[in-house]
A and B are shown apart, each in its own frame.
Chain A
Amino acid sequence: MQSTKIKEISYESKKIKKGTIKYKINNFPDYLKSWVKTFSGALTLFCLIILIVIPFLSTEQSYVEFFLPHFTLAMIFAILAASWDLLTGISGQISFGQSIFFGIAGYLCAYLIDYQGFPIWLSIIIGTAGAVFFSLIIGIPALRLKGPYLALGTLVFSIILLKLFLLGSLSEWLFGSEGISGLPKMSESSVLTYFIVFITMIITFIAIIQISKSKLGTIFKSIRDDETGSEASGINTTKYKIIAFMLSGVFAGIAGTYYALYNTAVNPTGNFGVTISFFAILMASLGGLATITGSAMGAFFFIFVEYILIELGAADYVQLIFALTLILVVRFADRGILKPTLERLKDLWDVLLGK
């Protein structure tokens, strides 16, 4: 029945399409030139150049030992926030459980390094894989919950996991409230650490953005926009929701292992606390839900503001202020603050370029 239809359709469009990666690679120099001319291209390039240059701005010890690691931390959080944006912003699965992947990966990685003498990179990989595997175990009952139920469910799972590691005699088996300490750093040179995290962040963002633009991304968004409609279009929504969870788990897990190495220690409150999930949500929401790149903006904004608040002597109030920030952002600026600000700048840019 469909064969008549197919014959009517032209085969011309087998030509390589403009947006695909093949096209970009084939025509690399030209593509780059036209990309840089766009506002987002130029801005991204500008930010990337700044990020590359930052480690070399000073060789003073206070700068290298204190200031630079803050940027590294921002990038670790950017990866975490982007993992949440993929799950909630793109796939519509409201999750308060990023701390689950983050903590499990961090603990597993720490355990392997400290107690089993595994090399760092192997521990990172296994730690992340462990987090993904665990996400599968939780995901199967959890995905019977939809929307707000899933939100509460993931929150509750994360709190119980925290309690598991923190309280009761079971936690003794899991290193108790002190956790594991004495981990090595990712590298003795904080500049090298910075670049390792930087490259991971770039790869993460490229990967997530490409997923978002791909057919898989379209399916994710269809589940987000209308799950019943997606199911009625023949999509096995449960399978794709699990995939979304696992992908989110990969990146959150990587962030978790990096965080463990950044702090050279893991402990229940620091790695499994609700605060971790809160940070992911805050940063992604600040930057703009479903924008992915907004997560990076949100993360740097957060680290910057936190630094200022600490300098002003308000260290205790940091989380409270950010809680208020989240409330205000969700209430008044559901597209985030940073992306719309960028769009205003883009309009300015267009005006300046005389368009």
Chain B
Amino acid sequence: MGIILEVKNLTKKFGGLTAVNDFSFEIKRGEFVGLIGPNGAGKTTVFNLISGRDKPSSGSIRFDGVNITGLKPYKIVNLGIARTFQLVRSFKFLSLLDNISVSCLSKRGKAVSKKIGTEEYASSILTSVGLVDKATIPPVVLPHGDLRKLQIGKAIGTNPELLLLDEPFSGLSHEEKVGITDLIKKLHADGVTIFMTGHVLRELMTLVPRVIAMHQGKFIIDGSPEEVANNKIVLEAYLGRGAGFA
């Protein structure tokens, strides 16, 4: 099916700090890949660089063969990459339905909305994330788990081919985690390529067949969960940080 995301020698410096250092990897269409590393490893920065929120200091990013390095975020979204944020964000004063509608009004989203109507598209997404009964409520009153679902819903609205999920389980109860896991699995089954970060290994290891590990901005290893969990450098990076792993 081909390579959907190709990252080469990606580097990002903030003043004296190198947050991402010569990072390279490839993801094939339809894969389900995890990106792990302790807090501060640079995972979110990698996502920010891919999604266009930050410009790399050097290196290149290609999506489906197209060079997207340094493009504006909305253009990258409309090429087919959507993301969620580690710190949940929402349109505070809009209803849930309207929150989703915004993505449905993006260029890619409109391609779908034109056929079935924006409200219907947004409703169907709300249904698929299990929030449709709260459609008219603003996000302020929602519990954390619902807000994470809302974020994923907003990403789905842009009809993405690659979905970047930044710490989607952070702050969730066990039940909420199950809900999100099912949602992500279903999206993957529908054909969306999923690239997910996490710093708690147990959750990721059972979910994804392939894991890329990073530490202090640098690439460590890329392999199956077993390979990664037994890698010496990965173990050293996590030792003493108290993050549990199988």
A and B, direct touch (CB closer than 8 Å): yes
A235 touches B74 (CB 8 A): yes
Q: When the two chains form their complex, are residues B120 and A225 in contact, meaning their CB atoms are under 8 A apart?
A: no
The answer to whether A2 and B159 have CB atoms under 8 Å apart is yes
Confirm or deny: B102 has a beta carbon within 8 angstroms of a beta carbon on chain A: yes
Q: Does B117 contact A (CB under 8 A)?
A: yes
Q: Is B217 an interface residue (CB 8 A)?
A: no
Give the interface residue-count category, chain A: 20 to 34
A19 to chain B, nearest CB (A): 10
Given contacts A2-B159, A9-B120, A14-B117, whether A234 and B108 have CB atoms under 8 Å apart is: yes
A226 B120 Cβ-Cβ under 8 A: no
Q: How many A-B residue pairs have CB under 8 A?
A: 102
Given contacts A9-B116, A231-B73, A231-B74, contact A226 B90 (CB under 8 A): yes
Contact of B157 among A14, A225, A233 (CB under 8 A): A233
B79 to chain A, nearest CB (A): 10
Asked if B158 and A1 make an inter-chain contact with CB atoms under 8 angstroms apart, the answer reads no
**Distance between Cα atoms of A215 and B94 in the complex (Å):** 12
Question: Which chain A residues lie closer than 8 Å to B83 at the CB level?
Answer: 232
Residues on the B chain within 8 Å of A115, using CB: none
The count of residues in chain B whose C-beta lies closer than 8 Å to any C-beta of chain A is 45
| Smallest beta-carbon distance A123→chain B, Å | 37
Note all chain A residues with C-beta closer than 8 A to B119: 13, 17
Q: Which residue of A lies closest to B128 (CB)?
A: A5
- A229's partner among B89, B101, B115 (CB-CB below 8 A) is B89
Which of A10, A17, A218, A231 lies in contact with B105, CB distance below 8 A? Answer: A218
Contact yes or no, A11 B91, CB < 8 A: no
CB proximity of B152 to chain A, nearest CB, Å: 12
A341 contacts the other chain (CB 8 A): no
Which residues of A have CB within 8 Å of B103? 233-234
* Minimum C-beta distance from B50 to chain A (A): 12
Give the contacts of B132-179 with A (CB-CB under 8 A): 154, 157-159, 161
Q: A228-B53, A232-B73, A236-B74 are in contact. Are A218 and B102 (CB under 8 A)?
A: yes
**Chain A residues in 8 Å Cβ range of B154:** 229, 233
Query: Would A5 and B51 count as touching, CB distance under 8 A?
Result: no
- Chain A positions within 8 Å of B159 at CB level: 2
Docked pose: A232 CA to B107 CA in angstroms: 12
Q: CB distance A5 to B107 under 8 Å?
A: no
Residues of chain B lying within 8 A (CB to CB) of residue A232: 51, 53, 73-74, 77, 82-83, 85
Counting from the closest, the 10 A-B pairs by CB-CB distance are: A234-B106, A234-B77, A1-B191, A225-B91, A233-B103, A222-B102, A231-B73, A234-B158, A233-B102, A229-B89
